[in-house]
Amino acid sequence: MKEGELGRTYASGEIIFSEGEKGEVMYVIQAGKVNIMKNTPSGELTLATLDSGDIFGEMALFDKMPRSATAKALGNARILSIDKKKLFSTISHDPTLVFKMLETMSKRIRLLNEELSKLKKTKSALVNLCCDVDEVCSMILEEARKTVQADNGSVMLVNDDSALAITAAFGKKSEQRVLMKSGHGIAGDVLRTGRAEMVNNVSMDARFVQGKVQIRSMLCVPLKCNNNILGVINMSNTSERMFGMDDLKAISNIAMYAAIAVQNAVNLANLKNAAEEVLKHAAIVG
């Protein structure tokens, strides 16, 4: 990015503002991209990826609440800041200035409504209906398959030996016996870091462990609940189809509720086992 243009350049990954901060300024992207992220019990979730010309950070100016999310540069990004005092003073002279902002906010509300309705379906399917761990994992995978187009997919859960084992899968013959330790392979690395990954050319990724199925691209998202990683959702392509940021975002959204459902199912299974043990002891004593 050449020097001398408008705004300030943020380096890739640099935080523009953090969730919870007081908002005094709104921003307009002049060049590059910005990720809007939120901390959730399941980890950091990317809410949106904004592009050149997009505005952000305006909500905190209008509702006077702390920043609702964190904004981080995705690659180098050049951003123009607009001071709250100056903005409101200008709007007071020319209220039509908010037309463009209303247009932007309306588009965002429309998108949020769409995502919310998708999430509600996923949430009710996953959180309310299932109590068996295997059944929950199958349902998670079914939801993921409906949301993102992929040739193969699997849900891997952490077993008693702290390794990832496939609990549910679809696509080309999966190697059901595959176990992945933390840090081993891309899934093992996601288990270690807790960060979702999109790899569109796995052969170039040193972490990738080649199995029998010739994978070209993959998404791997952690199932994280209260900072505890229960497993991962994998989606992969053997064809030349590549994944996009929207796919990663969609699977991350599903993973948020899926992790709660898995945790509930695991808790219920543990409770059932404990109850059975108690009953067994009671029978012996009796």
Partner 1 sequence: MSNSHDPYVLDSGARIAVIGGGPTGSFFSIFALKMARMLGKDLEITIFEPKDFAKDGPGGCNRCGGIISELLVQTLAIEGINLPDSVVRKGINSYRLHTEHGSAFIATPALEKTIATVYRGGGPKGIMGDNLESFDRFLLSQAVEGGAVHQPVRVDSIEWKDGKPVLFSKKSEMMQADLVIGAFGVNSTAGKLFHELGFGYHEPSTVTAAIAEISMGEEKVAEYFGNSINLFLLPDKGIKFAAMIPKGSYVTLCILGSKLDGEVVRNFLSRPMVKAVLPGEGTYSVPCSCLPKMNIGAPKVPFTDRIAMGGDAGSTRLFKDGLGAAYLMGKAMAKTAVFEGAGKEHFQRGYYPVYKSIIHDNLFGSVLYFVIDQYRSFDVLTRAMLRTVELEQGRSHDTTKILSSILWDMFTGNERYKNVFMKSMKPKMHINMWEGLFKSLFRGGSP
6 binds partner 1 (CB under 8 A): yes
In eight-state DSSP terms, residue 81 is E
28 binds partner 1 (CB under 8 A): yes
4 binds partner 1 (CB under 8 A): yes
68 binds partner 1 (CB under 8 A): no
Contact 220, 234 (CB under 8 A): yes
97 vs 129, beta carbon nearer partner 1: 97
175 binds partner 1 (CB under 8 A): no
155 binds partner 1 (CB under 8 A): no
Q: Tell me the HSE value of 142 on the side-chain side, using a 13 A CA sphere.
A: 10
30 binds partner 1 (CB under 8 A): yes
18 binds partner 1 (CB under 8 A): no
We find the least distance from the C-beta atom of residue 8 to partner 1, in angstroms, to be 4
The alpha-helical segments, DSSP class H, found in 84-223 are 84-93, 98-123, 129, 133-147, 185-193
In eight-state DSSP terms, residue 101 is H
Two tokens, residue 234: 């994998």
96 vs 117, beta carbon nearer partner 1: 96
Q: What is the CA radius of gyration of the chain?
A: 23
Which residues in 91-130 contact partner 1 (CB under 8 A)?
A: 94, 96-97, 99-101
245 binds partner 1 (CB under 8 A): no
Chain position carrying tokens 């902002």:
101
41 binds partner 1 (CB under 8 A): no
**Which of the stretches 84-92, 120-128, 160-168, 269-277 binds partner 1 when contact is defined by CB under 8 A?**
84-92
Question: CA angle, corner 113, sides to 112 and 114, nearest 5?
Answer: 90
Q: Which residues contact 46 (CB under 8 A, 6 or more apart)?
A: 35, 36, 37, 245, 248, 249, 252
Residues that bind partner 1 (CB under 8 A): 2, 4-8, 28, 30-31, 52-53, 55, 80-82, 86-87, 90, 94, 96-97, 99-101
